[in-house]
């Protein structure tokens, strides 16, 4: 049960693992960021006034997403490269000859991956969630000026009977919600009746007070301007603030608050609960990678099966990611309970990895 009989050996292996993981991550992010920027640069520069500064802004918002998404892949590839190198140089044979078991050989990598998982969780909460929210807002305004306020929702649509209301931006919460650049489509069963456009709308308790109103009547083709107009007495503020809640754009605490508000409003929260649990299980997937890639460490390199073992390790790792995405999709549509959707793949592949390791090496 002494998983670290040699402190020097543990530090040596952990250092190899971390360096190779970071190298793979840097290479993946660099290549994928370049490809992504090639695809999006045309849309960014299409907005008048955008230039090189906006391209760098996009990179700063997109890079954290790529790092968070491909960090587990990098841990998997870093594990396989590290263990295959140790195997190729007969270092694993030396460790086993010195009395180390397979679990003792993997222990430094697993502890290092725990540190990676913790840093990944902190990184997701402090950088990835805000940058995702900001990038989503920017994309919805077609890469125009990014709203300066925090907690901004953009391009929000609400249905009120036959009528449709679109707000370009929504800021604030509760009864302090402010709508800007509002368009109201008053419709009947036969089609559009009139069109209302306003600069700003605030909730009064009995409706929404629009300012800077322009009203266009479809039947007569006439346009009328008004300074103020009270509309939407049946529309509540939470219909604007609770719409389009994205688990990826919120921190774990903010998402917990949003789920509570949605439940009080009687809205479905199944997909958000699955996303909440996945904020914990997602970073922890890094801990699985040394276990799933461990098959590359063992077996004689001179047998010619080192490459095959590396491929098997990669297959196990990628099978986990497929299962994880599938379970999360099932949780989003309500086919799986949220807790099962987030944790079932982790537990399943932990058992698979342990079974393979014990039956082949222990």
Which tens digit of pLDDT belongs to each residue from 113-145?
A: 999 999 999 999 999 998 998 888 788 778 887
Other residues' Cβ atoms within 10 Å of the Cβ of residue 162: 12
* Res 159: pLDDT: 80
Task: Give the least confident one: 129-133, 160-164, 200-204, 329-333.
Answer: 160-164
The pLDDT of residue 49 is above 70: yes
Query: Could you give the CA distance from residue 75 to residue 92 in angstroms, rounded to a whole number?
Result: 20
More confident residue, 178 or 243: 178
* Res 280: pLDDT: 93
The pLDDT of residue 264 is above 90: no
Query: Could you give the CA distance from residue 128 to residue 172 in angstroms, rounded to a whole number?
Result: 22
Which residues, other chains included, contact 213 with Cβ-Cβ below 8 Å and sequence gap of 6+? 196, 197, 198, 225, 226, 227, 228, 229
Q: Which of 239, 278, 271, 242 is nearest to 257 (CA)?
A: 242
The pLDDT of residue 261 is above 80: no
Sequence-ordered alpha helix ranges (H) in the chain:
7-46, 52-88, 91-97, 102-123, 129-140, 238-241, 252-264, 270-292, 306-332, 338-361
- This prediction has a pTM of 0.79
Contact 83, 110 (CB under 8 A): no
If pLDDT is split at 50, 70 and 90, which confidence band does 151 have? low
- Segment 55-61 shows an average pLDDT of 94
Q: Collapse the DSSP code of 326 into the 3-class scheme (helix H, G, I; strand E, B; otherwise coil) and give the result.
A: helix
Query: Could you give the CA distance from residue 29 to residue 60 in angstroms, rounded to a whole number?
Result: 12
* Res 148: pLDDT: 59
Contact 82, 13 (CB under 8 A): yes
User: pLDDT by residue (tens digit) across 69-114?
Assistant: 999 999 999 999 999 888 888 888 888 888 888 888 899 999 999 9
* Res 19: pLDDT: 96
The pLDDT of residue 173 is above 80: no
The pLDDT of residue 221 is above 80: yes
Residue 104: Cβ-neighbour burial (10 angstroms; 0-12, 13-18, 19+): buried
* Res 232: pLDDT: 78
Contact 250, 129 (CB under 8 A): yes
* Res 186: pLDDT: 86
* Res 311: pLDDT: 87
Which stretch, 15-24, 44-53, 137-146, 303-312, has highest mean pLDDT?
15-24
Which residues, other chains included, contact 359 with Cβ-Cβ below 8 Å and sequence gap of 6+? none
């Amino acid at each position: 049960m002494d998983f670290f009989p040699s402190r020097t050996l543990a530090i040596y292996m952990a250092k190899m693992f971390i360096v190779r993981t970071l190298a793979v991550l840097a290479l993946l992010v660099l290549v994928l960021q370049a490809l992504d920027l090639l695809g999006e640069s045309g849309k960014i520069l299409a907005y008048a006034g955008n230039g090189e500064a906006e391209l760098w802004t996009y990179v700063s918002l997109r890079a954290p997403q790529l790092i968070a998404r491909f960090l587990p892949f990098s841990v998997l590839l870093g594990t396989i490269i590290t263990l295959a190198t140790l195997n190729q140089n007969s270092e694993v044979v030396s460790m086993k000859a010195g009395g180390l078991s397979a679990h003792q050989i993997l222990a430094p990598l697993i502890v290092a991956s725990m540190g990676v998982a913790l840093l990944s969780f902190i990184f997701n909460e402090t950088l990835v969630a805000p940058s995702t929210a900001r990038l989503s807002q920017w994309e919805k305004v077609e890469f125009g000026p990014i709203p300066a306020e925090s907690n901004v929702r953009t391009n929000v649509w609400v249905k009120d009977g036959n009528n449709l209301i679109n707000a370009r931006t929504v800021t604030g919460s509760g009864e302090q919600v402010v709508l800007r650049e509002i368009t109201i489509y008053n419709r009947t069963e036969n089609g559009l009746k009139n069109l209302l456009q306003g600069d700003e709308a605030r909730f009064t308790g009995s409706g929404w007070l629009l300012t800077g109103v322009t009203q266009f009547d479809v039947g007569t083709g006439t346009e009328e301007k008004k300074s103020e107009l009270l509309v939407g007495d049946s529309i509540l503020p939470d219909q604007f603030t609770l719409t389009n809640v994205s688990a990826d754009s919120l921190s774990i605490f903010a998402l917990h608050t949003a789920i509570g508000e949605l439940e009080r409003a009687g809205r479905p929260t199944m997909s958000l609960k699955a996303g909440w649990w996945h904020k914990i299980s997602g970073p922890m997937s890094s801990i699985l990678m040394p276990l799933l890639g461990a098959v590359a460490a063992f077996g004689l390199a001179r047998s010619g099966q080192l490459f095959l073992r590396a491929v098997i390790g990669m297959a196990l790792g990628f099978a986990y990611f497929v299962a994880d995405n599938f379970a999360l999709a099932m949780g989003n549509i309500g086919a799986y309970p949220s807790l099962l959707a987030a944790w079932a793949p982790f537990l399943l592949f932990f058992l698979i990895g342990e079974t393979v390791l014990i039956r082949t090496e222990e």
